[in-house]
Chains A and B, each alone.
Chain A
Amino acid sequence: MRTNLNFIFNGEEQNISEVAPHTTVLRWLRESQHAVGSKEGCAEGDCGACTVVLAEIRDDSLHFSAINACIALLAGLDGKALITVENLSSSADTAHPIQQSLAENHASQCGFCTPGMVMSMLAHVHSDKPPSARDTLAGNLCRCTGYSPLLEALEKVDVAAARAHSGFSHQQLLQQLKVLKLDDDLQLQSEQGRYLSPGSAASLGAMLNDQPDAQIIAGGTDVGLWITKQDRRFDTVIALNRVRDLCFVREHRGWLEIGAAATYSNAQQALHNRHPTLGTLVRRIGSTQIRNTGTVVGNIANGSPIGDMPPALIALGATLEIASEQGSREIRLQDYFLEYGRQDIKAGEYLRAVRIPPLSSSNRFGCYKITKRFEQDISAVSAGFWVDISPEGKVINVRACYGGMAATPKRAAAVEDALMGKAWHPDNVRAAVSHMAKDFRPLSDWRASAEYRMQVAKNLLLKFSLESQGETLTLYHSGAES
């Protein structure tokens, strides 16, 4: 078991023995390295001022991804290279083409968000299949510019020049990363706690067996906030992000299987292929930075009643594989959520994968997310709808699952009952949703009132029924499509 953290920063290998499990990348940068170009704007992964880029080897070449340094744990950098805004030029005289483009296009005013913008753009230019400019910057808040000059600056970057210009040698970085051991078990011990990072599912099972009370962390986009916002500390953290055999997104007999270490970014295309509205949903989860670290299974594991994935996956009839050293069991995803804050998982167990069954030609599916702001917002209400329709147009089976309407993601049983056997027609849906009050008594909070939640929950099912029959009711076009 290795006991030192190894990663590359500023082209140099870091070999750190004393790492507290709760030390974030941003605090390490600013406080230990005095690298103050990356800023803290929110300490919750929502503003992007702290954006840094990670480089790692995928398919024998360098892969760059933007992440939020404020909620990323330093220990999670093992085996990767950390690139910050200070690291984009080899000399003080030459700015990076992205930096020049921002300056020339008047894309900074106060400048506080700018380094984060630069880093999101850096990941963008290094991507072989970059998302749209708007997707690239959706996780970077700017309060001054109104964004237009930023979009213009990104558009005007000479991508070839930007790829070539660097404060580090790509070849050297590739060599350095290859040398770092990538699949061993890692244990970082410090006075403030222990960080365990198994390299395989077998090690994970064994570690959890020994440490059943350990805090499991996958992407850390939720746990990171417990640290920065609630000052929570953990004796032992077990990280999933290096468990190679849990990082999979694959098709198996028509089922889509997503492993516990697979990020949203890993799964986005496969989910989009399964159904376009799933792709759109994933695109609206967090931001590029969040999707690069957050995991699909983690979004289930935390048991949140407003997680974005569960309603859609429950509607699709997904199952969950729960594993431990002793073996594994499979349950329906909808049965995982017992009550608020309580899930069907025991100490020593972990969620291994979620499995999504195929859609047949008689199925209709759609998922929706209602927020105040289109981008990067937590749902007031989310919904997943699946219906199986007979050749005569009657409802054979239906699953209408909602988030934000109850203490857990929950199906609207009374509404579903009212639809069974009826013709799949908006009029019948209108009648059926009148039963929704039997299913839900939502809360009022800062995201929405109970009245709105109820009204929009009803209307979403109606919207689905219309869209499943060919109506196009989407407001979002260019740049917003997956």
Chain B
Amino acid sequence: MSEQKLREVGRSHPHDSGLAHARGTAAYIDDLPEPRGTLQVYIAQSPHAHATLRSLELGPVRRAAGVVAVLAAADIPGTNDCSPVMGDDPIFAARKVLYHGQSLFAVAADTIDQARAAANRAIASWEVHDAILDIDAALAADSYVLDERVLARGDTTTALASAQHTLSGLLRIGGQDHFYLEGHVALATPGENGDLHVISSTQHPTEVQHNVARALGLADHQVTVEVRRMGGAFGGKETQGALFAVVAAMVSQKTGRAAKVRLDRDDDMRMTGKRHDFRIDYRVGFNQKGEIQALEVQHATRCGMSADVSAAIADRAMFHADNSYYLPNISIRSKRCLTHTVSNTAFRGFGGPQGMLGMEQIIQHIATELGLDPLAVRRSNLYGASPRDRTPYDMQVTDFVADQLLDDLELSANYQQRRQEVAAFNAENSLLKRGLAMTPVKFGISFTATHMNQAGALLHIYTDGSIMLNHGGTEMGQGLYTKVAQIVAEVLGVELNLIKITATRTDKVPNTSATAASSGSDMNGMAAHNAARTLRDRLAQLFAQKHQADPGDVVFSDGKVRVGSAEQSFDTLVKDAYLARVSLSSTGFYSTPDIHYDPVSMCGRPFYYFAYGVALSTVSIDTLTGEYRVDSIDVLHDVGKSLNPAIDKGQVMGALIQGMGWLTTEELWWDSSGQLRTHAPSTYKIPTVGDVPDHFEVQLWERGENTENTIHRSKAVGEPPLMLAISVLQALQDAVMAADDHRTAVLLDTPATPERILMALTALQSKNP
């Protein structure tokens, strides 16, 4: 088929719910009308990080006003587990609790106030144990939730020994709460014969379906899980929604009434997992140009009390320990720590940011040591032609563009001039200092668990020509539904408003993967594309037959179908097809080709392709207080051929600011008893509008085009730009180092709060009084 000019794809259509969002009419789960008699459920939580339950007296809870049901571990009809993989996340703690905030029992009452008040009447007796609360404690105690993994190439030991220079260091990288604005929520409604319908704030309806069925002793086909939209997710609703959906479903099964679990902000932050914090130890060998000859790096990560999806997250951190750089001799060791804290989980970037930050900090360390511009050291180490095109996991990098992006942004954002301006400012000011940094991102696209790289769609055309679209991807604000609808509209040559976008449901498209790993539009877009192609081919066949033409010559556009001089409107052709008994419904399926990966050697091609971006940030700091301000951010990001530039740009901006929060103001703080004390926006500080620099320029790279055969040659955009924020951290470090004329390398632990910056400055002063 000849290449046509795209009409719907590539246009900046507004988000399909944009106006409804603004009018307050886009319904989130807690906004839906509640079925008659809906019960409100409160989940009581462990007051200890590590303890054994000696006894739990729930009689007073049951007798409290308004209480209809109280459920604990013994009341679970099926398996007491709501984990994604490993079977190690109890729905209710049976005997031992492993983190402060762990679910103990659920109270269902007529009102949430009654349920909460009743829960406080439980009488529990505990034997409290010592708790392992952080990475260092876990390392000291050899406390691991998963086996250690090692990824190695070359002879790192020898290369380190013979290197001209070596450096070592230790980095601590903090975690991050997702802080989606809508907390976790689930509404379960009983159906006939024990069936259940669960509306859940989940990125993974199929996994919720499986968990509900397993916990309740039902077959998968008895449970339907649905989600129309989430008020943000960012990975926090990939696995974490299961507990709340299961509890709502259990109450519903037990009482025959609808049941809702909705967490308030504090419970949500205490009960659900976060981005993994990391400790990275490294030793690097390099030459006078800063070219890395050998790198030995150890990742130790806090998984929390269970495995969740930590294996894949820690793996992805290892796969991004190179970022954009060729490492001839490399050894990456990964330790997955078990702690008595909430089980950490997926978060935009999924380990990639931590691995990549480690590498970028090493580059900064080398540059300071050699007195070179870090940009020069970056360039010296970029991937290039063979043999410098092999990742540590032995994948050939065939689509490398970070070098071009660096060149382009260096020019367009006046990197050299800005560096001079910063130096001039610093020469004149002793108490305020400025800094800048330009960093690249290379991020692998695909689930590293190969089997998850599949997606399905369902498309109906009704006899009036209107279209119903459904697919396995979930909408959490990223604009997936809009993009997929654009793809379908393109295939069928119709206006976007002819397509009804419908809620993701396990009874429409089964056996779906999580909407995660930035793969939503790549996979669901392609599946919907395939469904639309099937229907278009059927219609083309009919139309071609009628006009004795080749079906391949039939063109669908502007709501019309044409071949030669024949033309018919799309809706009348649909009607003709119905009368001719042609099926107007189709599924579509897609599985990402060419990827393979040996989990033992950790080698292969885990990623279909890479997404790239670069950012230049400038900052100012107050050396008396450690306070800072991000003055400017310039971004050039490669989204391939964009499906929707406005949506993609929105993803880039939003991810970058979210990443900036991770590295600057968002600090998770547990007290010595293992209680999270930053569990609400009063204590946990995500960026506000005031943190956005006055100059914030985001450009999608015009030359971008996916070399792989993705949907319309686009690239995934959800996660990669988060890591552009590394430039902000490095600019802050650059400003701190300016206080000492860059004589000493300063690698800040994150988040780089004003406190960390002032303490780093104080350390510099005491070193060079």
Contacts and interface: CB of A to CB of B under 8 A. Distances in A.
Interface in B689-717: 689-692, 694, 696, 698
A238 interface: no
Given A43-B264, A111-B229, A471-B431, A146 B653 contact: yes
B191 interface: no
Interface string B217-246: 000000000000111111000000000000
Interface stretch (A100-108, A325-333, A359-367): A100-108
Interface in B246-298: 264-266
A103 B19 contact: yes
Contacts of A480: 690
A162 to B, nearest CB: 13
Interface residues of B, number: 87
B667 interface: yes
A61 interface: no
Interface in A276-316: none
Contacts of A373: 665, 685, 687-688, 691
A98 interface: yes
Given A102-B21, A143-B686, A112 B181 contact: yes
Contact of B432 (A138, A150, A473): A473
Contact of B117 (A109, A231, A377, A459): A231
Nearest to B31: A36
Interface string A443-482: 0011111011001100110110010000101011111100
B60 interface: no
A141 B681 CA distance: 9
Interface string A318-343: 00000000000000000000000000
Interface stretch (A7-15, A113-121, A412-420): A113-121
B236 to A, nearest CB: 10
A11 B659 CA distance: 43
B683 A37 contact: no
A87 B646 CA distance: 29
Interface residues of A, number: 89
A370 B754 contact: yes
Interface in A129-149: 133-134, 137-138, 140-149
A47 B690 contact: no
A406 interface: no
Given A110-B182, A113-B181, A451-B759, A146 B654 contact: yes
A98 B685 CA distance: 27
A41 interface: yes
A446 B624 contact: no
A88 B738 CA distance: 52
A471 B759 CA distance: 23
Contacts of A41: 181-183, 265, 681
B18 A108 contact: yes
A187 interface: no
B30 interface: yes
Interface string B75-86: 000000000000
Among A42, A115, A448, the one with the most B-chain Cβ atoms within 10 Å of its Cβ is: A42
Nearest to B264: A43
Interface string B126-160: 00000000000000000000000000000000000
Nearest to B649: A106
Given A106-B650, A146-B657, A148-B653, A95 B681 contact: no
A388 interface: no
B477 interface: yes
Contact of A108 (B15, B687, B753): B15
A149 B653 contact: yes
A292 to B, nearest CB: 17
A189 to B, nearest CB: 20
Contacts of B657: 146-147
Residue among A115, A146, A148, A477 with max Cβ neighbours from chain B (10 Å): A146
B665 A109 contact: no
Interface in A218-258: 229, 231
B628 A141 contact: no
A138 B685 contact: no
Interface of B: 12, 14-15, 17-28, 30-31, 33, 113, 116-117, 178-183, 229-234, 264-266, 431-432, 476-479, 620-622, 624-629, 646-647, 649-650, 653-658, 665, 667, 669, 677-678, 680-683, 685-692, 694, 696, 698, 753-755, 758-759, 762
Given A86-B23, A138-B690, A463-B625, 14 more contacts: A39-B181, A103-B14, A103-B22, A107-B18, A111-B22, A143-B658, A146-B658, A148-B653, A149-B653, A371-B685, A373-B691, A375-B690, A459-B625, A478-B694
11 contacts: A41-B182, A104-B14, A112-B231, A145-B654, A147-B688, A375-B688, A445-B677, A455-B759, A455-B762, A456-B755, A475-B432
**Which 9 pairs of residues, A with B, have the shortest CB-CB distance?**
A37-B24, A110-B477, A111-B21, A112-B231, A146-B653, A109-B477, A146-B657, A446-B669, A46-B681
